[in-house]
């Protein structure tokens, strides 16, 4: 029997999976998880119904939300404003009935100082407090801030004196001179700051007078220079700020003394020496010009044809 040849069969190849086979959709899995979570949450809510503390918390949150929504609606419709005004009006009427309303507004200065009638009236109006205002509604801090803005006020204290009095204690700035600007007469302090109108001549009597625009801020330097020469100061009725550059002194006897723009102190010293030696300020003249260093120019009055002057001054005297 002939030998049989055994042939080896080639291995079978596995067919590759089709490339275009559609993948399993994941949306179904997501939907399933969503259903599971919903079922879990529903189960927890049902379990919470039988849990006393949890149920009270849920009810409280629900009521709080409802109340908040109602309050927002009321605020939008203006209901709360009307209610607030009504409550405020009722409380104010009750306070007035109890005697807790403003009856007295007392504006005064500390001991040893005085306020004019004009200052008291201005402070009271500026304070903004009305008679019959409820004492609880009066804010001392706001009153203090308003009154402190007045130019003549240096310091102010506001107190509520129960049951019905408001006290405004004002320390005024000290007036040192008068300032006439554009026809208006006002008090001024040592720094040249206006303190308020001088409405009465009697209250303004005895103060030095400066005249002209910007004269107030320039006056302290003049007063400081003249402090060393009391004889000249006592004979000066007013000082005029000229051309925003220099001063002209108006003397009580009617003459003018023209001071220089630069070297005012030296000119006053020379005038003081001439007064001591020759009484030059006692003489009659229309103008005494000291604007040129070392020189005095004198113009006589219309009634005087000549001026008897010191020998040194007469050499340089001439009409202007």
Query: Are 188 and 312 within one domain?
Result: yes
Q: Of 156, 172, 188, which marks where a domain is finished? A: 172
Backbone angles phi, psi at 30, to 5 degrees: -60, -40
Six-digit token string for 159: 């107190």
Same domain, 142 and 235: no
Domain-embedded: residue 265: yes
User: Residue 195 and residue 221: Cα distance in Å, rounded?
Assistant: 19
Q: Specify the CATH number for the domain of residue 240.
A: 3.40.50
Q: What is the tally of structural domains in the chain? A: 2
CATH number at residue 132: 3.10.20.310
Does the pLDDT at position 40 exceed 60? yes
Average per-residue pLDDT in the chain?
79
Residue 289 in any domain: the answer is yes
Query: Considering the domain boundaries, does residue 236 fall inside one?
Result: yes
Q: Within this chain, do residues 160 and 185 fall inside the same structural domain, yes or no?
A: no
> Residue 309 pLDDT more than 50?
no
pLDDT tens digits for 219-244?
999 999 999 999 999 999 999 999 99
For the chain, what is the radius of gyration of the CA atoms? 48
The answer on 260 and 167 residing in a single domain is no
Q: What's this model's pTM, rounded to 2 decimal places?
A: 0.57
Q: Which residue range(s) make up the domain with 231?
A: 177-316
CA distance 142 to 199: 29
User: 302 with 184, same domain?
Assistant: yes
Given a cut of 60, whether residue 294 has pLDDT beyond it is yes
**Which residue is associated with the tokens 């629900």?**
62
Phi, psi torsion values for 10, nearest 5 degrees: -65, 145
Would you state the structure tokens that stand for residue 149, as one six-digit string? 């803005």
Q: The tokens of 88 are what?
A: 């405020």
Q: Is there a contact between 143 and 158 (Cβ–Cβ < 8 Å)?
A: yes
Determine the Cα–Cα distance for residues 12 and 19; give it in Å rounded to an integer. Answer: 20
Q: Is the pLDDT of residue 29 over 60?
A: no
- The kind and range of the H/E element at 159 are strand 153-161
Q: Are residues 244 and 291 in the same domain?
A: yes
Q: Is residue 111 part of a domain?
A: yes
Over residues 43-69, the pLDDT tens digits come to: 666 665 555 566 666 556 666 656 666
Same domain membership, residue 291 and residue 166: no
Examine residue 1 and state whether it is found in any structural domain, yes or no.
no
Residue 2 has pLDDT above 90, yes or no: no
**Separation CA 251–CA 235 (nearest Å):** 6
Last residue of a domain, one of 152, 172, 192: 172
In a domain, 83, yes or no: no
- Specify if 224 maps to a domain: yes
Domain boundary at 172, 200, 220, which? 172
Considering the domain architecture, whether residues 191 and 159 belong to the same structural domain is answered as no
Residues 208 and 296 both lie in one domain: yes
Burial (CB < 10 A; 0-12, 13-18, 19+), residue 159, is: middle
Same domain for 150 and 241, yes or no, is no
- For residue 93, what pLDDT is reported? 73
Question: Are both 190 and 262 inside the same structural domain?
Answer: yes
Closest CA to 107 of 167, 196, 173, 195: 167
The answer to whether residue 119 is domain-embedded is yes
Q: Which of 187, 181, 163, 167 is nearest to 120 (CA)?
A: 167
- Please provide residue 116's backbone torsions phi and psi, each rounded to the nearest 5 degrees: -75, 165
Residue 18 pLDDT exceeds 80: no
Co-location of 225 and 306 in the same domain: yes
């Amino acid at each position: 029997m002939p030998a049989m040849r055994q042939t080896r069969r080639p291995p079978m190849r596995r067919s590759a999976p089709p490339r275009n086979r559609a993948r399993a959709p994941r949306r179904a899995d997501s939907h399933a998880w969503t259903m599971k979570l919903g079922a879990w949450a529903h189960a927890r809510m049902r379990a919470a119904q039988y849990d006393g503390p949890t149920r009270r918390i849920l009810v409280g949150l629900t009521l709080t939300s409802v109340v908040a929504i109602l309050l927002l609606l009321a605020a939008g419709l203006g209901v709360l404003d009307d209610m607030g005004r009504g409550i405020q009006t009722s409380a104010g009427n009750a306070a007035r009935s109890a005697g807790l309303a403003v009856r007295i507004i007392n504006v005064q200065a500390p001991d040893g100082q005085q306020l004019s009638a004009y200052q008291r009236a201005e402070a009271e109006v500026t304070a903004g407090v009305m008679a019959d205002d409820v004492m609880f509604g009066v804010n001392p801090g706001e009153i203090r801030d308003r009154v402190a803005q007045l130019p003549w006020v240096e310091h102010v204290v506001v107190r509520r004196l129960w049951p019905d009095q408001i006290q405004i204690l004002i320390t005024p700035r000290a007036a040192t001179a008068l300032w006439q600007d554009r026809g208006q007469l006002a008090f001024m302090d040592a720094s040249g700051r206006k303190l308020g109108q001088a409405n009465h001549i009697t209250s303004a009597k005895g103060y030095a007078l400066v005249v002209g625009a910007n004269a107030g801020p320039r006056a302290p330097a003049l007063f400081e220079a003249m402090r060393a020469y009391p004889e000249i100061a006592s004979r000066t009725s007013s000082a005029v700020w000229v051309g925003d550059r220099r001063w002209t002194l108006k003397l009580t006897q009617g003459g003018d003394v023209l001071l220089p723009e630069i070297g005012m102190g030296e000119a006053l010293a020379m005038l003081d020496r001439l007064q001591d030696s020759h009484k030059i300020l006692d003489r009659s003249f229309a103008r005494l010009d000291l604007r040129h260093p070392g020189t005095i120019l004198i113009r006589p009055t219309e009634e005087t044809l000549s001026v008897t002057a010191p020998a040194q001054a007469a050499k340089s005297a001439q009409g202007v």
